[in-house]
C-alpha cells in the first residue's frame, strides 16, 4: 500500500506506455485521454461506507496522492502530500428530482468525461455516485489513461467493491457490485 506520508517525493519515471500517453496529451491538451465508465447498482448504497471503500482503494493503489511533474524536463510521478487534504474521494450527486434522472446522469458523465485533465495540477481520478432513484445509482469512475488502463481500472473497482462488502480486512456485508 502506498502511504503518501512516508513515500519519497518522486515515485519514478513513467513506463513507455505512460510516456506515450503523456506525450500525446502535451500535443493535444484539449483532448481528454481518459478512461471512464459506470456501473449500475440496483440497491440502496451507503454513501459513507462507499466513501471509505474508495479511500481504501485510493490508498492501496496510490491514486490519492500521485500526480505528474517534470524533473530535468522528464515526466515523473510524484507524491503530492497536499493532494489528499484537497480532495473529495467520492462525490455524491443526487439526480432523483430531475425530470429524467437517467438522461441527466448520462449528460453529467458525458460532460465530465470530455473535460480535459491537467496532468500537472488536477487529480488524476474522479469518482462519483449518481443517485437515480432510491434503489438505483450509477457508480462512475474516470481516470487519466496515464494512470490507469482498463485492467487497472477493473482492479481498482474490484478493490472498492471488496472493501465495501467487507472482504478487505473485515467481515462480509452486502455486496456493492456483483462482479466475476
Residues 9, 67, 131, 177: what is their CA dihedral angle, to the nearest 10 degrees?
-70
Q: Phi/psi at 135 (nearest 5 deg)? A: -120, 20
Q: Which of 135, 134, 128 is nearest to 106 (CA)?
A: 128
Q: Phi/psi at 6 (nearest 5 deg)? A: -115, -10
Q: Is residue 179 part of a domain?
A: no
More confident residue, 162 or 95: 95
More confident residue, 173 or 99: 99
Q: Is residue 2 part of a domain?
A: no
Between CA 83 and CA 92 the distance in angstroms is 20
**Structure confidence by residue, pLDDT tens digits, 20-30:** 999 999 999 88
Q: Is residue 150 part of a domain?
A: yes
Residues 78, 84, 89, 94: what is their CA dihedral angle, to the nearest 10 degrees?
-120
**Structure confidence by residue, pLDDT tens digits, 12-70:** 788 899 999 999 999 998 888 999 999 999 999 999 999 989 888 887 887 777 788 88
**Structure confidence by residue, pLDDT tens digits, 84-109:** 555 567 999 999 999 999 999 999 99
- Mean pLDDT in the chain? 83
Range of the domain at 101: 10-165
- Which triple of cell numbers denotes residue 23? 506525450
Q: pTM for the full model?
A: 0.82
Whether the Cβ atoms of residue 129 and residue 51 lie closer than 8 Å to each other? no
CATH number at residue 150: 3.30.559.10
Q: Is residue 112 part of a domain?
A: yes
Q: Is residue 20 part of a domain?
A: yes
User: 24-46 burial, b if ≥16 CB within 10 A, otherwise e?
Assistant: ebeeeeeebbbbbbbbebeeebe
Helix locations, the chain, DSSP H = 16-27, 47-61, 83-86, 101-113, 150-165
Q: Is residue 80 part of a domain?
A: yes
Number of domains within the chain = 1
For 82-91, 93-102, 125-134, 168-177, which range has the lowest pLDDT when averaged over its residues? 168-177
Amino acid at each position: 500500500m502506498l502511504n503518501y506520508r512516508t513515500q519519497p517525493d518522486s515515485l519514478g519515471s513513467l513506463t513507455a506506455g505512460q510516456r506515450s500517453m503523456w506525450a500525446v496529451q502535451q500535443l493535444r491538451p484539449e483532448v481528454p485521454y481518459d478512461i471512464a465508465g459506470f456501473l449500475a447498482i440496483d440497491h440502496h448504497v451507503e454513501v459513507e461506507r462507499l466513501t471509505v471503500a474508495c479511500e481504501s482503494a485510493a490508498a492501496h493503489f496510490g491514486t490519492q496522492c500521485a500526480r505528474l511533474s517534470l524533473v530535468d524536463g522528464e515526466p515523473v510521478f510524484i507524491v503530492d502530500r497536499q493532494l489528499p487534504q484537497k480532495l473529495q474521494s467520492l462525490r455524491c450527486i443526487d439526480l432523483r428530482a430531475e425530470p429524467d434522472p437517467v438522461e441527466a446522469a448520462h449528460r453529467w458523465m458525458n460532460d465530465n468525461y470530455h473535460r480535459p485533465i491537467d496532468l500537472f495540477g488536477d487529480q488524476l481520478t474522479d469518482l462519483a455516485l449518481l443517485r437515480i432513484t432510491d434503489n438505483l445509482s450509477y457508480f462512475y469512475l474516470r481516470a487519466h489513461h496515464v494512470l490507469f488502463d482498463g485492467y487497472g481500472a477493473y482492479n481498482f473497482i474490484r478493490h472498492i467493491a471488496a472493501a465495501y462488502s467487507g472482504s478487505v480486512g473485515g467481515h462480509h456485508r452486502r455486496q456493492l457490485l456483483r462482479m466475476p
